[in-house]
Amino acid sequence: MALKSFGLKISGMTCQGCADTISRYLRKEKGVAQVSIDWEAGSAMVVIDPDVISEEEILHNSAFEGHYSVELAE
């Protein structure tokens, strides 16, 4: 199992509670090994098993619906 890490840019977070909620949703997904979110910077680092879940699936996670704008960081 080769893990893959990638960054996200997340806009719309206003407090640590936002980051905690997103983190909790993402960690429930099979294949997500680690999530680290900095709400003040509007960024996240996610580590996944790409054989189980894709970056695209993370981008479309229900944690982001209606509240946050998210895209892959460059």
pLDDT in tens, 36-62: 999 999 999 999 999 999 999 999 887
Tokens of 21: 């909620």
Say how many C-beta atoms besides its own lie within 10 A of residue 66's C-beta. Answer: 6
Q: Supply the pLDDT for residue 53.
A: 97
Fold of 4-72: Alpha-Beta Plaits (3.30.70)
* Model confidence, pTM: 0.89
Is there a contact between 37 and 56 (Cβ–Cβ < 8 Å)?
Answer: no
